């Protein structure tokens, strides 16, 4: 940076700001500095970067930038009402603080257009942006000029364009849950799941079920929300026809629906959840949402440090493997039941 500053007759701080897309540097000056950096074959000093990060982690961090958490949920106040996303936020904010950043939520609604949001972020010198799941909201994210920002997404469901992504390893979770349920003695494990293209748990469940004896296989029951009026009849018919001894599900209302139909949990059916947060089922997968938030900030700050902006040519995914959590709604069966006599 000293060489670039000397070459152009500017201060080293100006070069540093330009390389980090700081809005205090004019577009013309930034372009001039970036061109000079390429001509002089500028490479960031990885040891200096590592030392700077180490100082922030080991000592009291000095706040030096804001990172944006973009909330475009239909009702923005409800997003962090889900414990999963609140824990993602907790992990992200704590990691950002340790690295000397401040994570701030920006709500996208009828009062804040995409253009206005882009202007606000750029004017405040915010270089790092995290896009979080948006539920049923339809957002045309391509209307933002992303060349000014480093971006990561939480989950695959935040629409296009395709940015780098951090999320739970849903396929692995589907495999893990099915194996752990079988280890607990259950043989005919059914899946009740939303029909969602981003619901990759299904792949893990199906790949595991395909290797089971035919007598242990249960066809999954998929649903689309809003649920049909005869949903209870559909569920009851599926249980009576296929006779599962346990159900793996991402449907929080399933325990109440089963109770209405007269099924006792866990006496008649064991239950496990694909995500134990925001679900009244205590057995199942802990997707480790705080770790997801932690990894997202790590990834985002690394993009900022190497000045990687805009839509990536090759989007990368970081998958966080979840953990199994035992619970009372899926008790271990006796040896007699494990032998297949249940």
Task: Identify whether residues 129 and 147 lie together within a single domain.
Answer: yes
Task: Identify whether residues 27 and 59 lie together within a single domain.
Answer: no
Per-residue pLDDT at 326:
97
Residues in contact with 50: Cβ distance below 8 Å, sequence separation at least 6, in sequence order = none
Task: Identify whether residues 58 and 83 lie together within a single domain.
Answer: yes
Residue 164 · residue 312 · CB < 8 Å: yes
DSSP per-residue letters across 130-168:
EE---TT----GGGS-GGG-EEEEESTTS-SS--EEEEE
Number of structural domains in the chain: 3
Positions in the chain short of pLDDT 70: 20-21, 23, 43-64, 157-159, 335-342
pLDDT in tens, 202-215: 999 999 999 999 99
Task: Identify whether residues 125 and 148 lie together within a single domain.
Answer: yes
Task: Identify whether residues 196 and 249 lie together within a single domain.
Answer: yes
Per-residue pLDDT at 173:
97
pLDDT in tens, 109-128: 877 889 899 999 999 999 99
Per-residue pLDDT at 159:
65
3 state SS for 167-229: EECHHHHHHHHHHHHHHCCCCCEEEEEECCCCCCHHHHHHHHHCCCCHHHCCCCEEECCCCCC
First-to-final CA distance of the chain? 71
Per-residue pLDDT at 341:
39
Question: pTM here?
Answer: 0.81
Q: What CATH code is carried by the domain that includes residue 139?
A: 3.40.50.2300
Q: What CATH code is carried by the domain that includes residue 33?
A: 1.10.260
Per-residue pLDDT at 17:
77
Task: Identify whether residues 75 and 56 lie together within a single domain.
Answer: yes
Residue 67: φ, ψ to 5°: -110, 145
Task: Identify whether residues 22 and 72 lie together within a single domain.
Answer: no
Per-residue pLDDT at 342:
38
Task: Identify whether residues 226 and 330 lie together within a single domain.
Answer: yes
Per-residue pLDDT at 310:
95
Q: What is the DSSP letter of 21?
A: T
Query: Residue 143: left (phi > 0), alpha (psi -120 to 50), or beta?
Result: alpha
Task: Identify whether residues 145 and 220 lie together within a single domain.
Answer: no
C-beta neighbour count of 173 within 10 angstroms: 27
Task: Identify whether residues 7 and 145 lie together within a single domain.
Answer: no
Task: Identify whether residues 26 and 121 lie together within a single domain.
Answer: no
Per-residue pLDDT at 155:
87
Q: What is the DSSP letter of 341?
A: I
Residue 56 · residue 99 · CB < 8 Å: yes
Q: In this prediction, what percent of the chain has a pLDDT beyond 90?
A: 66
Quote the CA–CA distance of 255 and 186 in Å, as a whole number. Answer: 18
Task: Identify whether residues 264 and 226 lie together within a single domain.
Answer: yes
pLDDT in tens, 284-316: 999 999 999 999 999 999 999 888 999 999 999
* Full residue range of the structural domain in which residue 256 is found: 170-286+325-341
Quote the CA–CA distance of 82 and 309 in Å, as a whole number. Answer: 30
């Amino acid at each position: 940076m000293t060489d670039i500053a000397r070459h152009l007759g500017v201060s080293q701080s100006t070069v540093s700001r330009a390389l980090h897309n700081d809005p205090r540097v004019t577009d013309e000056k930034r372009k001039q500095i970036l061109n000079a950096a390429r001509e002089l074959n500028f490479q960031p000093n990885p040891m200096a970067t590592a030392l700077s990060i180490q100082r922030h982690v080991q000592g009291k961090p000095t706040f030096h930038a804001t990172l944006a958490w973009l909330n475009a949920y239909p009702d923005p106040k409800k997003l962090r009402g889900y414990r999963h996303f609140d824990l993602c936020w907790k992990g992200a904010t704590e990691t950002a603080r340790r690295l000397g950043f401040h994570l701030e939520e920006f709500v996208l609604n009828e009062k804040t257009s995409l253009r206005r949001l882009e202007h606000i972020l750029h004017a405040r010198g915010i270089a790092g942006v995290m896009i979080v799941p948006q539920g049923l909201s339809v957002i045309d994210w391509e209307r933002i000029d992303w060349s000014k920002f480093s971006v990561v997404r939480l989950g695959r469901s935040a629409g296009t364009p395709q940015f780098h992504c951090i999320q739970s390893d849903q396929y692995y979770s589907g495999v893990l849950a099915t194996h752990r349920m079988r280890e607990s003695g259950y043989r005919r494990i059914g899946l009740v799941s939303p029909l969602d293209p981003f619901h990759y748990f299904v792949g893990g469940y199906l790949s595991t079920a395909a290797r089971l004896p035919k007598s242990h296989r249960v066809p999954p029951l998929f649903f689309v929300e809003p649920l049909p009026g005869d949903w209870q009849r559909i569920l009851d018919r599926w249980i009576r026809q296929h006779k599962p001894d346990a159900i793996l599900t991402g449907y929080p209302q399933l325990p109440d629906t089963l109770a209405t139909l007269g099924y006792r949990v866990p006496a008649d059916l064991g239950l496990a959840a694909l995500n134990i947060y925001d679900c009244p089922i205590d057995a199942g997968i802990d997707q480790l949402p705080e770790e997801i938030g932690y990894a997202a900030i790590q990834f985002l700050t690394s993009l900022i440090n190497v000045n990687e902006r805009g839509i990536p040519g090759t989007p990368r995914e970081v998958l966080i493997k979840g953990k199994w959590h035992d619970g009372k709604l899926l008790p271990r069966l006796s040896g007699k039941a494990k032998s297949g006599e249940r």
